[in-house]
Amino acid sequence: MFLNRMPRFEVLGEEALATIGGGWERLAQEVGVRFDHPRALELFADAGQTVDGEVVRFDPGFLRAQAATAPATFTLHARNPARDLTIGGDAMVFGAVNGPPFVRLDGERRDGTMADLENLLRLAHMADVIDTPGRNMLEPGDVPLDIRHLRRSLASATLTDRVWSGEASSVEAAEDCIAMARIVHRGAADGPVLFANVNVNSPLHYDVRMLEGLMAYAEAGQALIVTPFLLMGAMAPVTPPAALVQQTAEALAGIALAQLIRPGTPCVMGSFLSATDMQSGSPAFGGPESAFGLYASGQIARDLDLPWRSGGGTLTASQTVDFQAGYEGFNTLDAAFLAGANVCWQSAGWLEGGLVTCFEKFVADCELIDLLTAQFTPVEVDEASLAFDAHVEVGHGGHFFGAAHTLERFRECFWRPTVASTENIDRWTRNGSLNHEARASRRWKKLLEEYERPPIDEDVEEELTEFVRRRAVELGDPIE
């Protein structure tokens, strides 16, 4: 977890911020949001909102009032207390890539497997800059769909000691994940121990599966990240201000529902705002529109006093670990830092527009996070840092390699990369002329060699394993 105390980069003036505020209130009031669940509709109706079939139209001020009942900051408890996470304020937490069905490693692209997911969890545990593996760093295609949440949660709870994310796509899966989190913590944690990402079926629509998950986690007092998924030109208008209006209305509608279910439910206002290539129809990531969307999303969330999630991360449309993947990923990640994101999702391993989890890009992205956390750490300015005595010692025309000031600090005075090369051309050639992807391949393999499974109470692990086996039988896909 990183504390980002640098000034925020704000692109909206007071008038523009107010215009967007009026825009999302009008959209929510006049067009409304569709909810495919009778309980959601009943709760909104009881709260005095206009319900027309499955569409809810919100009174001005209602969404703001509901958002005000959610905490501005909260703590997520890990089974290792040293890994607890503060959400909100200056805190930034980084989650790995989540969702891809395909994996890429050593130049091969193929369907993901459970073994791949387990190795990615080990990498997430070894990467100090990754605070949570999230829910599904990779979809394991060799595990039946109805029990994937069980296998993923068991692996997350045992192969790492970090906060992990539950499944939100059905009430059964949500309740299973909540039950497993309770086994891990045995009721000892005072506050949420689990979070779930709820995606809006944009535009302006919550489907029944996401609503089941949202309601289950809210009832259990666990944290929710409510995230519209907006590709401008496809699921949102092409102009960034219109997309920001839609994003805010959609996110606040879900947060309002969570507060009606359980006032004070920890909620994060989600953002995933990118452009569409209007020639091909494919998603485009890492462009200026995405960066602007992040800057503005941060302002809007701070105006509402809500923690917020950035859509990236290190997003890219590139098919491989190349210059495009680097600059698109950096542009999105840097924007999240500048905008003061509290939860930075898809931070390591995202490739090919989110279709692929790449091992090489995972460690390359971790280096970018490490670089930016160093870059966004304020430099201490005091008499010692001015190094006057070093000038006295070296004098005119000398060098500082052997100066006392240097010798006292040389081991930690500068940031050092783990993948990038600073070798001269002769040494680089002698060492095999490895490019960035090849060095990243070496890096992830070394991390896996060094991995040690974090300790877990034997009784807890046995109870978790038995729970997973029993539920798998009940769901019709026994685990051998």
Sequence-distant (6+) residues with CB within 8 A of 262 are: 218, 219, 221
Mean pLDDT of 351-369: 97
Sequence-distant (6+) residues with CB within 8 A of 473 are: none
Whether residue 362 contacts residue 120, with contact meaning beta carbons closer than 8 Å, is answered with yes
Whether residue 453 contacts residue 158, with contact meaning beta carbons closer than 8 Å, is answered with yes
**What is the SS3 assignment for 349?**
coil
Written as one letter, the residue type at 242 is: A
Distance CA 221, CA 193 (A): 9
Task: Give the pLDDT band (50/70/90) at residue 188.
Answer: low
pLDDT at 324: 97
Specify the CATH number for the domain of residue 209: 3.20.20.480
Tens of pLDDT, residue by residue over 241-252, are 999 999 999 999
Does 430 reside within a domain?
A: no
Q: Is the pLDDT of residue 377 over 90?
A: yes
Written as one letter, the residue type at 429 is: T
pLDDT at 126: 98
Mean pLDDT of 5-12: 96
Count the Cβ atoms, other than its own, within 10 Å of residue 323: 9
Written as one letter, the residue type at 50 is: T
Tens of pLDDT, residue by residue over 315-335, are 999 999 999 999 999 999 999
Tens of pLDDT, residue by residue over 194-243, are 999 999 999 999 999 999 999 999 999 999 999 999 999 999 999 999 99
Q: What percent of the chain has pLDDT over 90?
A: 95
Whether residue 232 contacts residue 275, with contact meaning beta carbons closer than 8 Å, is answered with yes
Does 440 reside within a domain?
A: no
Tens of pLDDT, residue by residue over 259-288, are 999 999 999 999 999 999 898 888 889 999
Q: Are strands 205-206 and 33-35 parallel, antiparallel or unpaired?
A: parallel
Distance CA 319, CA 154 (A): 31
Does 428 reside within a domain?
A: no
Q: 438: buried, middle or exposed (CB in 10 Å: 19+, 13-18, 0-12)?
A: middle
Instruction: Name the residue range of residue 311's domain.
Output: 2-9+66-375
β-bridge partners, 205: 34
> How many H-runs (helices) and E-runs (strands) does the chain carry?
17, 20
Task: Give the pLDDT band (50/70/90) at residue 189.
Answer: low
pLDDT at 480: 77
β-bridge partners, 105: 108
The C-alpha angle with vertex 220 and arms to 217 and 222, in degrees rounded to 5, equals 60
Q: Are strands 33-35 and 102-105 parallel, antiparallel or unpaired?
A: unpaired
Q: Is the pLDDT of residue 119 over 70?
A: yes
**What is the SS3 assignment for 309?**
strand
Mean pLDDT of 425-452: 97
Does 472 reside within a domain?
A: no
pLDDT at 311: 83
Tens of pLDDT, residue by residue over 21-36, are 999 999 999 999 999 9
Q: How far is CA 351 from CA 17, 118, 244, 320, 435, in A?
A: 33, 19, 25, 7, 18
Distance CA 368, CA 321 (A): 13
Residue 87: name the closest of 262, 285, 223 by CA: 223
Does 122 reside within a domain?
A: yes
β-bridge partners, 131: none
Whether residue 228 contacts residue 270, with contact meaning beta carbons closer than 8 Å, is answered with yes
Task: Give the pLDDT band (50/70/90) at residue 183.
Answer: very high
pLDDT at 456: 96
Task: Give the pLDDT band (50/70/90) at residue 190.
Answer: confident
Q: What's this model's pTM, rounded to 2 decimal places? A: 0.96
pLDDT at 60: 84
| 49 Cα distance to chain centroid | 32
Residue reference for tokens 């394991």:
140
Least confident of 41-45, 57-61, 103-107, 276-280: 276-280
Q: How far is CA 412 from CA 4, 363, 369, 378, 402, in A?
A: 21, 21, 18, 16, 16
Does 353 reside within a domain?
A: yes
Distance CA 189, CA 240 (A): 41
Residue 163: name the closest of 10, 268, 302, 299 by CA: 268
Residue 137: name the closest of 102, 96, 196 by CA: 96
Does 262 reside within a domain?
A: yes
Q: How many domains is the chain built from?
A: 1
Distance CA 89, CA 81 (A): 20
Whether residue 275 contacts residue 236, with contact meaning beta carbons closer than 8 Å, is answered with no
Does 330 reside within a domain?
A: yes
pLDDT at 283: 87
Tens of pLDDT, residue by residue over 458-472, are 999 999 999 999 999
pLDDT at 267: 98
